[in-house]
Chain A
């Protein structure tokens, strides 16, 4: 592994085009969903292949891997959601069906909770306790178009970015919205709670990073990357790393930045060239990792303050 700025990169070759990518296990492993529903995993330390398995179940409408890299959630067209072992794809649990097929699945940071957004335009959220395999809450509002979901570590609060730029905050127990955060000008694909639960961080498309400090939800702004679609936040929300893909147009260079949120200062940045997918992880204070993909090629880089 080499640092941003040196130009050196760890390159990996997948056995087929990469459809999605995730840094897992604290950024020490990278997992990729490949064409043909194959899931491949490598070590970030030396690029060694850890395994590759092929999913053979019903066609998925959504998939997610937990941050530990141990479990995969697969949603299918009948609203079913299955939890699989990430290494073997052995079925671990079948969760109660969502009312509609999920188009997006998101694990909580510790993997104990799973949120599913229905595939249509209108907000329809399902929440499961993965450990007990129970549906713990639902929320629907046909007037809202959701973007992404973040689960508070306490399991009691969910934040949903909306395509209008607002962020809806829900109380899981009551299934009711408790507040709307209207500070962002554009929607945020990238949204996460700090691990200590002290803040919600969003990287909206307009190139800002917003930090809402709990419990008052007071907001602070920092500069990020326009079009950001991946975000990792320090446990105390003091730093974040964010990245964007090449899109609109396709020749927009992908990029990653490590940011000091309190000082609104970019600690490190790296251009990723043309990339279809990116993901980021914070390895420690002032140390982040980014993976980018194009076709069947993956590239890993580190950023250091």
Chain B
């Protein structure tokens, strides 16, 4: 199998556990909690338990999202629950049903992954995004959003342009996108989340 990959945007954001601050020798590493970002009005309870959000026949760039859910010491939070929701390629949320909505339980090593299509843009928001609500026993619920460094809204320079979206308050939520060519174009993003207490 031949896979051609290229990092479209480097940016200053480290992926995943690179959010780790340098630990003192012999001490547990300390991770910054993932920045919060607003829940928005389109959250819907009762999303189906699935890791495949792709609606057959819907147009759009296939997107693989993976990552881990960790505590501030870097320990995987097995059993954490992730809820995700986003628009279709046209920028439309499904209000009456559960298209592009899912709920998943992370694995014992804290990992998760799901397949979907790249979200679209819509009038009230500048940037493409996937909403996250991450919960684990004894941890503060994390409400945040994942953004994409390849988003045309950032014009190739997320460092300077991320504030074009007034909701996007923290540059660290923009993640590099890797493009693959296995059986057609597809994108991949890694988004680790760190829950505070």
Contacts and interface: CB of A to CB of B under 8 A. Distances in A.
Interface string A131-154: 000000000000101010000000
Contact of B124 (A143, A145, A226, A247): A247
B45, B95, B123, B124, most chain A CB atoms within 10 A: B95
A147, A187, A207, most chain B CB atoms within 10 A: A187
A155 B104 CA distance: 42
A248 interface: yes
> Size class of B's contact patch?
20 to 34
Interface stretch (B21-29, B86-94, B154-162): B86-94
Interface string A239-258: 00000000111100000000
Contacts, number: 59
Given A207-B95, A226-B96, A248-B92, A187 B41 contact: yes
A60 interface: no
A154 to B, nearest CB: 29
Contact of B43 (A164, A189, A248): A164
A206 B123 CA distance: 20
A205 B95 contact: yes
Interface residues of A, number: 20
A163 interface: yes
A248 B96 contact: no
Given A206-B96, A226-B96, A227-B95, A121 B38 contact: yes
Interface of A: 121, 143, 145, 147, 163-165, 185-187, 189, 205-207, 226-227, 247-250
Given A163-B38, A189-B41, 16 more contacts: A145-B38, A145-B143, A147-B41, A164-B39, A164-B43, A164-B45, A165-B45, A185-B44, A185-B46, A186-B44, A186-B45, A206-B95, A207-B96, A227-B95, A249-B90, A249-B122
